[in-house]
Amino acid sequence: MELKVDVKEHGNPLSLGTSIILLSLVLIFLLRWKDTPASQNGLPLINAKRRFEFVDLLAKKRFITNAQELLKAGLKKVRLSQFAATNRVIDPIKASVFNIVTENGVMMVLDPKYADEIRNSKILSLRKTLIEDMHVNVPGFEQQMQALEDDEIFQTTLKTKLTRNLEDLNEILSQEATVALQEHWTDNPEWHEIPLSRSMLKIIAQLSSRVFLGDKICHNPKWLRISVDYSIDLFQATFELRIYPRFLRPLASRFQPSCRRLRADIREARSIIEPVIEERRKAKAIAKQEGRDPERHEDTIEWLEEVANGRQYNPVSAQLLLSSAAVHTSSDMLTQVLYDLDGRQELIEALREEIRSVFKNGWERSSLAKLRLMDSMLRESQRLKPISSVSMRRMAEAPVTLSDGTIIPKDCKIIVPCLRQWDEKYYPDPETFVPDRFLKLRNEPGYEHTAAFANSSPNHLGFGLGRHACPGRFFAANEIKLALCHILMKYEFRVVGKKPEKVVFGTMLAADPNGVIAVRRRKGEEQIRL
């Protein structure tokens, strides 16, 4: 392990002696690594330290580079070993759990068959997982807890305000999509190249910010930079702090360049958002004094204020959390969808015809729900490449006994792999992109709604499952559909160069960030009123 200390970058330089002490403490901690609750539960351990590996750094590296295959191999190994165990009283159906060394230490892996059983468990805590893995007690990281505060202001805002107002927001998003695409893709009728991932980040950041922060901030270039870069800085800082033992992380964060960038992002976000909130609060107070109704704003600034109803909360943390949760996931999804559509001209024309049919008379409240082929295609794209190869990250606050006798020890961290999404038992020809796969499934009894893009099941964990499923998934689905409608009807596009390949980092699966596409403005679709 190489620990670099850049004294120029730090501004408050560490002395050589301090650096040596810090490095020594890290090494002592690693060498005295204690077993976690997961490693003490008696289950097989996958990706364990190999011979002559005295610490698990190399095991963690193997997980980062090959997590999906290790998870597959783990389930296969325990199933085979359980079936072969003839001298022990073991039920083969229990051959579905094992431990694995991840970049966050040892975790217990549960087969997706347990997903429904644990989906709404209050003992299996997402909050504790965040505290353990996301450094939420370190300055600069605490905003991640905003979604899990006991007052539930954040969750209630998403569930009762954002989701319920989706149909009223569609035309606003559509107008913003027109502006964003003109800016980033232009109206140039000649082929011109653009970096796809970066352009999608900027477009989705602008659309999301229109709903989250209103029209005053959504065109602010400083905020748009933060909404794109903040998640990148958060990811890098989170990963880099993990090389330090937990008790040293607050100190290390003072000098780590990525952590300093993160805190700078927060300071700048505060300088942008707080004046707008203060201005609105003053305007409401004046309106109340004058006995008139205050001006309403259809955005999450307004809705958070309404839900809080005078209770204390951190509006800047809430907006940063919204941005980090929405911008990169939706832009990654849309980037992957365009890669999947590349070269499939018949599918593109079928999608365009569906859009023409739905929007021939302009906007209706149910317009996006009628795009059933598009909905199916999006779900299929997400099936093949979700944002993560695992879901339902939790930590047990007390021992949990599952229906078949499987025990999850207290303080044990669990994950559920998304392996069913690539399993021929659940999806025939699972490696093939079949855009109408879920359209056909929705025509079968009982699948009308469960096979829709924004819904989840143990067979498709793209948005999680249960009480901690992504609360903004319905907004994300609408936003992606709207952006895709504008792209398909207004542009031709094709991938330039080699076929893009997904980037794997541990359980994270990202669309190729380096892909380039050529685009040109189409003509003749102006009559479609998006």
The Cα 273–Cα 133 span in angstroms is 28
Rounded to a whole number of angstroms, the distance between the first and last alpha carbons of the chain is 54
Q: Which residues of 438-465 are buried (b: 16+ CB within 10 A; e: fewer)?
A: bbebbeeeeeeeebbbbbbbbbbbbbbb
The distance from CA 47 to its chain's CA centroid, rounded to whole angstroms, is 25
Query: Residue ranges of the alpha helices (H) in 14-106?
Result: 16-31, 57-84
Residue 51, classed as helix, strand or coil, is coil
Q: What are the phi and psi torsion angles at 269 (to 5°)?
A: -60, -40
207 burial type by CB count under 10 A (0-12 exposed, 13-18 middle, 19+ buried) = buried
Structure-block tokens of residue 227: 């909404």
Query: Residue ranges of the alpha helices (H) in 85-160?
Result: 115-118, 126-133, 153-156
Residue 418 assigned as binding residue? no
The answer to whether 214 and 299 are in contact (CB under 8 A) is yes
Phi/psi region, residue 395 (left: phi>0; alpha: psi -120 to 50; beta: rest), is beta
Q: Tell me which H or E stretch contains 46.
A: strand 45-46
Q: What length is written for the chain?
A: 530
The Cα 197–Cα 209 span in angstroms is 18
Residue 449: DSSP 8-state? T
Annotated binding site for heme: 470
Binding residues: 470
